[in-house]
Structure 1
Amino acid sequence: MTKQFASVWTREPRQPKTSGLRREQIITAAVEILDAEGLESLSMRKLGAKLGAGATSLYWHVANKEELLELVLDQFWGMVQIPEPERASWRELLTTFAYSLRATIRDHSWMASLVGQLPSIGPNSLQLSDRLRRAFVQAGFQGVDIYLASGTVISFVLGQVLPEIAWQKASAEIDTDGMMRVMDELAGDYPDMLADYRATVPTDPEVGRAMAFDFGLLCVLDGLAARLRNTPGSA
């Protein structure tokens, strides 16, 4: 049986009781736990203990943990910088947005487990989505292309950053030097590829990731610009 859609955003937020917790306090404390300990460690009990509050105070504002996670996900979107479309060209706006989204995900890696799992329909998410929409409209995109273009940029950033996060979590347990020796052995039949890799790939993984992000973002923006040029009636 299909589960009826429900969201923390479909009802009016409750005003705090006298000298009680405010929703903003709950969100801030939840984000602090998530940043320090990860998604698996967040619980209503731990959150209550951090705030020095009982379950009744928390459940006055959120019905369950899923509603709490909706709130912190929207808090995340509020951390991402995106200019007003009237103050920047569409490429400048998307470049700022993409780099800010990358940095914000890296600072709050718990987001990777929530995006796509929970609805992003809070005020911060909607404001960000509207700015992206207006930027693409002003650039000359039309119809569904406006939303497909926006989704393409977001998907690129997520596709670049989520593997970075997974690698950072696993790298502490991986013998990188040993892995490279094994790769040399297994790829011995491909000397040109190994030589290219040695000559071109930075030894510092962070530099390599930054280069990959720069290159990919430029390709995405160039592709969108080409799409725009080939769209009849576009500006």
Structure 2
Amino acid sequence: MSADARQHRPTAPSPALSRAQIVAAAVRLLDAEGIEALSMRRLGTGMGAAATSLYRHVTGKDELIQLVVDEVCGELEVPGGATAAEWRDAVSRGGHSLRAMALRHPWVASVLGRVGPAHLGPNLMGMSERMLGLFRTAGFPAGEADLAMQAVVSYVVGATTAEAAHLSRLARSGQSEQEWLEGLRPGARRALAGHPSPAGEHAAKDGRHPRERREANFDYGLQRILDGLETRLSLG
């Protein structure tokens, strides 16, 4: 083939992109590599497209973060239609669903604060509306229902941020959670020697799988938050 023919060979067209494809690819990248890896250039390279082609669908990284947060919030299960007697169980199930989603996508807890009220997408809005409905059904007055919801969500996000960071460190180390815990036991026994109260608390938890302990720790904190909210309702 002549050099002139090679020069005029048509180039393969760039793959057609959609906003949905870009968001799905961004979620995969975030799940695999974390928030630090996300850039329009890195995302475009992974999709076999120039970063400039992504800007036809999203204005930049900030909007992309808003879109991916709303995308994963579509996984949340917040029961609707609960009665006044069922509100606490329904809120608890919603809190556990938020934790499970955040552990599937460890990056999400760290970016939730970047999504302001003006940029709430349909999934986030739907979740907020269902959760608010539960607190209103419970008897919280307008204005206070939102504060009650924020108290629950803040606990869940705070607790899950630390939990997700712990699991991410373990994944990078190549250790299983059980192996990590076994490695801590000798040092823990030495540190607890001569301290009966902490040792007793530690012994009460020993023997359970680390995943069960994490779930129990999370649920204990969530239930105490709900105890306080339930007491608030009883005071009128």
Using structure 1 for the length normalisation, give the TM-score: 0.80
Is 1:222 matched with 2:227? yes
Match of 1:68 among 64, 69, 81: 64
**Which position in structure 2 is the counterpart of 1:105?**
102
Q: Which residue of 1 aligns with 2:115?
A: 118
List alignment gaps of at least 5 residues for structure 1: 1-18
Cα distance change, pair 171–22 in 1 and its aligned pair in 2 (3 A):
closer
Give the share of equivalent positions with the same residue, in percent.
Answer: 38
Contact preservation (8 Å) 2:43, 2:51: no
* Structure 1 counterpart of 2:190: 185
Inter-CA distance 47–87: structure 2 relative to 1 (3 Å threshold): farther
Instruction: Report whether the alignment pairs 1:151 with 2:150.
Output: yes
Structure 2 matches for 1:125-204, cutoff 5 A?
A: 125-171=124-170, 173=173, 176-204=181-209
Counterpart of 2:3? none
Letter of the structure 2 residue corresponding to residue 218 of structure 1: Q
Helix, strand or coil: the match of 2:78? Answer: coil
Unpaired runs of 5+ residues, structure 2, are 1-14
Q: Radius of gyration: which is bigger?
A: 2
Q: Which residue of 2 aligns with 1:51?
A: 47
Q: Is the 1:80–1:101 contact (alpha carbons within 8 Å) kept by the matching residues of 2?
A: yes
Per-residue CA deviations over 1:162-182 (Å, capped at 9, x if unaligned) read 221122123464864453322
2:38 is aligned, of 42, 59, 74, to 42
In 2, distance between residues paired with 1:196 and 1:140? 37
Shift of 1:195: 3.3
What TM-score do you get using the length of structure 2 for normalisation?
Answer: 0.80
The alpha-carbon distance between structure 1 residues 213 and 202, as it changes in their structure 2 partners (threshold 3 A), is farther
Work out the CA distance in 2 between the residues paired with 1:80 and 1:230: 31
- Match of 1:101, as an amino acid? L
* Contact residue 20 and residue 57 of structure 1 kept, 8 A: no
CA–CA distance in 2 between the matches of 1:84 and 1:110?
27
How far off is 1:55 after superposition? 2.5
